[in-house]
Amino acid sequence: MTCTPGLKRVHTPYPANPSGVILRTDNNTNTLNTSADKRIAVMEHVTEYLDDLFSFIRRSPTAYHATASAADHLAQHGFQRLDEAVSWCGLPPGPYYVVRNDASLIAFTLSSEPQAGLPMRMAGAHTDSPGLKIKPNPIQMHHGYIQLGVEMYGGLLLAPWFDRNLSIAGRVTWACGTAPVRCSLIDFKRAAAVIPSLAIHLDREANEKRHIDKQTDLVPVIMLTDGASPPDFNEIIRKELASQYPEAATATILASDLFLYDLQPPCRAGLNSELVTAPRLDNLLSCHALLRAMTASADNRNRLIVLNNHEEIGSLSMAGAQGPFLRSVLQRLYPDPDLLQRVIARSLFISVDNAHAVHPNFAAKHDPDHPVGLNQGPVIKFNAAQRYATDAITAGLFRQLCTMADIPCQEFVMRNDMISGSTIGPLTAAEIGVPTVDVGAPQLAMHSIRETIGHLDGWYLLKVMTTFFGAEDSHIHCPEPGL
């Protein structure tokens, strides 16, 4: 069963070839007269890019909505949706995508019959972000307030969730009478909840010794009560569902996966508009870049993107990177195990997930020899314990792609006295045995309700991913010594 997105298809104008928007001042037909003209041309494309990114983030308050937005974009660009429950035998060359559990997606293009064994340009990101998930029986009544019980989803920063206008979004299963069960996405799109802070007059040590109790302190308020019986939360959901899907007017709500999200939209910031602040940049920024690069590349080459759910909680699920989703799709495209292994051995997987930029107030938290800056290009991530899957070969391939895309790149390693995070990169590399590099756009405030990047960071990432998807076979594979 697949959820009904309830999203209108919105066409967002975008440069047909983002990898070519920086025009060189040479004798080509695209010559620009001055460096000022060049900067203006670049900034026009960056503005278009950011408008498109902001629209994607606004339409993607949850992993379910992000996947629906991704599917909508792919369909607009001629990708055909496949059903996992139907045979894929004999797929002709062309663009396809498949969705699993409403929150994970794989899209691919076949330039020739899969039996040709050509290498695959693969990249992955994740659709989920840390947040607050509403419990199944959430209604609580305390001292005249109606509140919602929530669970922590992922490793979120707790403090920024206070005093925010929070809305509710997710998916709902429902039925009318004994009719078949249906699944739909909903989005309240209004300030439905708030978690008020405790006044400093009642906690004089709040700025020195504040401790946030996840069970008792993070309980959002959704309305006031006069002491009557508590409201039926399922009835609240039903009314919202019916406002978006009139056919659900008499529905019974069966279950839901609902999350709170920050209602404040993305925006540019700083005196020179060099910063971008937005919710869920980790990792919607990467999902957006992969989708746009996938559909912008006009080259007829085999390429694939996987957008996994559940990365923030370990990836162990039917649709997570530690599950069988990617492997099962590849096995269906290449039923011959020997052929599949030959394809994987010649392919490259780029795991794309945001990286830590140096925080100016906490520079001591970063390795002093590997500073990462905003607007300084994508970051190649290294870790000796393979928390990132990068090695010398895959890092070299990605660095060469950045050179081809005419963008800078950076390197990140965690301090030795701190524990490194991880990504879907090592899980994917271990699951299917593909050479993998971990990269990402630099950002501040990772896992906060609102995160910060540079205005060029996502655009640089888009450029190199577009270059990757159009690269010659020789640029995605480095033969081992002696071969």
Name the CATH code of domain 131-262 (choices 2.30.250.10, 2.60.40.10, 3.40.1000.10, 3.40.30.10). 2.30.250.10
Residue 41: pLDDT over 80: no
What's the distance, CA 477 to chain centroid?
Answer: 26
Tokens of 31: 């010559």
pLDDT, one tens digit per residue, over 208-250 is 988 999 999 999 999 999 877 899 999 999 999 999 999 999 9
Q: How confident is the model at residue 8 (pLDDT cuts 50, 70, 90)?
A: very low
What is the mean predicted confidence (pLDDT) over 129-145? 96
Nearest residue to 128 (alpha-carbon basis) of 151, 104, 111: 104
What is the mean predicted confidence (pLDDT) over 155-170? 97
Residue with tokens 């799709």: 329
Nearest residue to 64 (alpha-carbon basis) of 176, 183, 236, 220: 183
The per-residue pLDDT for 15 is 41
Residue, of 326 and 209, whose pLDDT is higher: 326
Residue ranges of the alpha helices (H) in 308-357?
A: 325-333, 337-345
| Sequence ranges of the domains in the chain | 18-129+279-475, 131-262
Task: Report the DSSP pairing between strands 451-454 and 275-278.
Answer: antiparallel
Task: Report the DSSP pairing between strands 94-100 and 80-81.
Answer: parallel
Name the CATH code of domain 18-129+279-475 (choices 3.40.50.10540, 1.10.3720.10, 3.40.50.300, 3.40.630.10). 3.40.630.10
Task: Report the DSSP pairing between strands 379-381 and 436-440.
Answer: antiparallel
3-state DSSP: the chain helix, strand, coil percent, rounded to 5? 30, 25, 45
The per-residue pLDDT for 213 is 96
pLDDT, one tens digit per residue, over 48-96 is 999 999 999 999 999 999 999 999 999 999 999 999 999 999 899 999 9
Nearest residue to 340 (alpha-carbon basis) of 119, 122, 124: 119
CA dihedral 438, 441, 447, 448 (to 10 degrees): 170
- Arithmetic mean of pLDDT over the chain: 91
- Work out the angle at residue 70's Cα, subtended by the Cα atoms of residues 291 and 165, and round it to the nearest 5 degrees: 115
Residue 285: pLDDT over 60: yes
Running DSSP on this structure, what letter comes out for residue 393? H
The per-residue pLDDT for 400 is 97
Lowest mean pLDDT among 15-24, 231-240, 429-438: 15-24
**What are 166's strand-pairing partners?**
193, 262
Residue 42: pLDDT over 80: no
pTM of the predicted structure, to 2 decimals: 0.91
The per-residue pLDDT for 35 is 62
Q: Is 369 helix (H, G, I), strand (E, B) or coil?
A: coil
pLDDT, one tens digit per residue, over 256-280 is 999 999 999 999 999 999 999 999 9
Nearest residue to 129 (alpha-carbon basis) of 414, 454, 448: 448
The per-residue pLDDT for 116 is 82
Q: Judge contact between 381 and 420, C-beta under 8 A.
A: no
DSSP H/E element including 453: strand 451-454
Phi-psi region of 13 (alpha: psi -120 to 50; beta: other; left: phi over 0): beta
Q: What percent of the chain has pLDDT over 90?
A: 84
Strand runs labelled E in 143-272: 145-153, 166-175, 182-187, 221-224, 252-262, 267-269
Nearest residue to 195 (alpha-carbon basis) of 247, 243, 140: 140
- Residue 78 CB burial class (10 angstroms; 0-12, 13-18, ≥19): exposed
Q: How confident is the model at residue 29 (pLDDT cuts 50, 70, 90)?
A: very low
Distance between CA atoms of 235 and 405, rounded to whole angstroms?
53
Q: How confident is the model at residue 18 (pLDDT cuts 50, 70, 90)?
A: very low
